[in-house]
Structure 1
């Protein structure tokens, strides 16, 4: 189990040759060969990052079998890079260096929509500890202090699970540029009351039928956690997730109406994000204690929805706020991932007990290569070679 992760700038674990007095076994030879191949591909990725092929990368980590294999930090001069853009200092200006990519010159890195996946974990903990609720519960009764009175009966039928799987049926446009003033995420973040903004949207499909990427639904999940637990999600997270994992340094944006930005407002150190990954790979356990139920981990990281993004290269599935970029025909998850704007990735390959983390801030220019494909296209094939 990862207890504390190193802050070393360059750290790659390599195997040392076996004792010459003992003949190396075939198994040890294969392990050494595999390890050497993995080290080589990690070095190659690191070289490509330094050469700019992946754009603006701040951190790259590889963890296998709970061992830190690589940890690279990259220094970027964001003050100079952002000079040609509007750098007005407010938290929703992505070119404001007080807020992005690091929070006010600390090690805390914006996670953007990786926040959604962590919100899902907190929903799972809340439902397990409060047996009167489950994913089938309707959302509207749990949003009881909203100023919106739904006239469309379909809105009354939105369940917690519909929000988790982004099938609320609410009309929502989040597929355009974040600076597009018609983008619902832009409008949400510009509003004074986020809950009311989401619930004011009209319905365009029956809940539970159609996947539409919708950060507003995750905002509702944060409010639902508060209703179920009587605690705002940041306090719930500190008590039930962060404190047990030894995460003491974090920041979470507060919305104008006194709620917490559960769709993109969490900042963590990469070392602490790795703890989240390790928790899930260990089926919800940390130091022998069950933090989130194994069944929740399994369900939320399974491709409950198939091929939700047919325009993407990968046949991508979706679980409870987790992307499933690779899965088998019978629904077995090969890779699952928390993805965030600008290049935030927490990617896990359960079969290989592998975690990959990227922090970056590619928001103004598209790089030649995407870090999202590193695990599937470069690292996994190396591990599968005989």
Structure 2
């Protein structure tokens, strides 16, 4: 497997120190904004301290990192030490790359600071796809997917498969029969079977059709694997090379790892490892509508579409009315479709959450794969932090 490990750069954010001068009678707009900013951050700090205390108390299970950034200022960055070697002894630790209890792989890569992102990888794959389309005007999301999967038998008896579009894959509406809702170690779970196979793309392409493409949301990591291969067709580069050139290098992300599949492709559905502070850079990129240091990395239109509730109420069993965009979850949006919060979610408690109205970014890394904690970090922004700002 290939790894790219070079000298580490730190996150280009700093802690804000504010001095409030009492007695100023000026009604200068900047002064008012500064006061509002300080008030907002003071309110958040109280909630952050409470969440941190509860994490230390074990209420949220195994949490590794908790970062809060508002207005480009780091308000909190907590690290938590977990004894994963001892924890793993309670479970099967067979040493292979897809065993989630093997500390050789999870949650940190080889005991480095690189943390598994799991399905947050899907959201980053979507960004890389957007960049590919930005730079190759011969392709768009309406293109059919099968002609772009070169080198595979795509002459299917069920012609519905030929009608799967790129957008169908991006929005989890491929129409392929797929089960990823059971426990990951369930041997009928398609993600388990995919990761156990030697030929990932062939496995996905072999799945029968269940419905007409574009008509029904079914969570499907196999579709994201196909997207990774299509990026290679469009750009001529494997996605790890494309990511380094077009996303990671511009953002100063120099330390990362991608899992490689047995047949030499890249695991684009769950195989990326990043530091938490570098994951926060992805949030900042999107908060700034695709720009980094005044350079447009991915188009504003891609950012907007990716984080819009193109599909609504895709998980009616969840507590909130959750939407879905291009491989991004939309846990809160208005009746007219305006996004209030969007997030990249990953197995075990990997979250990059962004609240654009409040210029707020939250990052959680955790590894709750064997026990259900009392509280969920996924709800922290929506249930704890945002309501405080609205008071």
How does the TM-score come out when normalised to structure 2? 0.94
Over residues 271-310 of structure 1, what are the superposed CA-to-partner deviations in whole Å (9 max), with x where a residue is unaligned? 1101100000000000000000000000010000000000
Tell me by how many angstroms 1:150 deviates: 1.4
Q: Distance between the aligned counterparts of 1:228 and 1:342, measured in 2?
A: 32
SS in 1 for 2:267: coil
Q: Distance between the aligned counterparts of 2:112 and 2:216, measured in 1?
A: 40
Q: Distance between the aligned counterparts of 1:217 and 1:143, measured in 2?
A: 12
Q: Distance between the aligned counterparts of 2:122 and 2:324, measured in 1?
A: 13
Kept in 2, the 8 Å contact 1:111–1:267? The answer is yes
Quote the residue 2:143 is aligned against.
137
Tell me by how many angstroms 1:109 deviates: 0.1
Quote the residue 1:90 is aligned against.
96
Cα distance change, pair 6–286 in 1 and its aligned pair in 2 (3 A): closer
Selected match of 1:191 from 171, 186, 197: 197
Kept in 2, the 8 Å contact 1:14–1:39? The answer is no
Kept in 1, the 8 Å contact 2:70–2:359? The answer is yes
Quote the residue 1:274 is aligned against.
280
Tell me by how many angstroms 1:116 deviates: 0.1
Kept in 2, the 8 Å contact 1:304–1:317? The answer is yes
Kept in 2, the 8 Å contact 1:5–1:68? The answer is no
Residues 1:283 and 2:289 are matched in the alignment:
yes
Cα distance change, pair 130–33 in 1 and its aligned pair in 2 (3 A): closer
Over residues 19-70 of structure 1, what are the superposed CA-to-partner deviations in whole Å (9 max), with x where a residue is unaligned? 3574697935554333222111110000000000000000000000111110
Aligned length: 379
Q: Distance between the aligned counterparts of 2:10 and 2:24, measured in 1?
A: 34
How does the TM-score come out when normalised to structure 1? 0.95
Quote the residue 2:110 is aligned against.
104
Over residues 169-208 of structure 1, what are the superposed CA-to-partner deviations in whole Å (9 max), with x where a residue is unaligned? 0000000000000000000000110000000000010000
Give matches, 1:110-149, under 5 Å.
110-147=116-153, 149=155
Kept in 2, the 8 Å contact 1:102–1:109? The answer is yes
Tell me by how many angstroms 1:93 deviates: 0.3
SS in 1 for 2:89: helix
Cα distance change, pair 128–12 in 1 and its aligned pair in 2 (3 A): closer
Quote the residue 1:19 is aligned against.
21
Kept in 2, the 8 Å contact 1:101–1:110? The answer is yes
Which structure 1 residue ranges, 5 or more long, are not aligned? none
Quote the residue 1:356 is aligned against.
362
Tell me by how many angstroms 1:82 deviates: 1.1
Tell me by how many angstroms 1:12 deviates: 6.6
Greater than 3 Å deviation, 4+ residue runs: 11-16, 19-33
Selected match of 1:175 from 181, 188, 194: 181
Quote the residue 2:217 is aligned against.
211
Selected match of 1:51 from 53, 57, 70: 57
Kept in 1, the 8 Å contact 2:61–2:373? The answer is yes
Cα distance change, pair 23–307 in 1 and its aligned pair in 2 (3 A): same
Cα distance change, pair 47–193 in 1 and its aligned pair in 2 (3 A): same
Over residues 70-107 of structure 1, what are the superposed CA-to-partner deviations in whole Å (9 max), with x where a residue is unaligned? 00000000000111101111110000001000000100
Over residues 316-350 of structure 1, what are the superposed CA-to-partner deviations in whole Å (9 max), with x where a residue is unaligned? 00000000000001000000000000000000001
Deviates more, 1:157-166 or 1:31-40: 31-40
SS in 2 for 1:141: helix
Cα distance change, pair 336–20 in 1 and its aligned pair in 2 (3 A): closer
Kept in 1, the 8 Å contact 2:15–2:73? The answer is no
Tell me by how many angstroms 1:113 deviates: 0.1
Q: Distance between the aligned counterparts of 1:6 and 1:50, measured in 2?
A: 27
Q: Distance between the aligned counterparts of 2:322 and 2:152, measured in 1?
A: 34
SS in 1 for 2:227: helix
Q: Distance between the aligned counterparts of 2:173 and 2:21, measured in 1?
A: 58
Selected match of 1:260 from 225, 245, 266: 266
Quote the residue 1:155 is aligned against.
161
